[in-house]
Amino acid sequence: GENVEQHPSTLSVQEGDSAVIKCTYSDSASNYFPWYKQELGKRPQLIIDIRSNVGEKKDQRIAVTLNKTAKHFSLHITETQPEDSAVYFCGLSGNQFYFGTGTSLTVIP
């Protein structure tokens, strides 16, 4: 099956700083790359996604970049705020949906 590696597993940043989470994958047939945010006690929710024919996508303070050649994609959060504190999962799909192991982000006020 697909091997999705997500790093780092934990990340602490000061409020206002940027946070970057990276996922690498092995299946070149993967064509859809979403990022989910899961707040404590809540369900995962999609925050941004990108398809394989696009290299970058931005939505306000959140951006995702995709490097198909190197088989990795990253989530970038700028000007972090305390409410960004959560667990973030990368996902990808080809024949099956796979998730990374999650990154616990803590934004320190």
Partner 1 sequence: KAGVTQTPRYLIKTRGQQVTLSCSPISGHRSVSWYQQTPGQGLQFLFEYFSETQRNKGNFPGRFSGRQFSNSRSEMNVSTLELGDSALYLCASSQDYRGLGYEQYFGPGTRLTVT
Coil vs helix vs strand at 91: strand
In one letter, which amino acid is 41? G
Q: Which stretch binds partner 1 (CB under 8 A): 15-23, 37-45, 56-64, 72-80?
A: 37-45
Q: Give residues with Cβ within 8 angstroms of 52, minimum separation 6.
A: 30, 31, 32, 33, 66, 68
Q: Residues 39-78: x/- map of binding to partner 1 (CB under 8 A)?
A: ---xxxxx--x-x---------------------------
Please give the residue ranges that form the binding site for partner 1 (CB under 8 A).
Answer: 1, 6, 31-32, 34, 42-46, 49, 51, 89, 91, 93-102
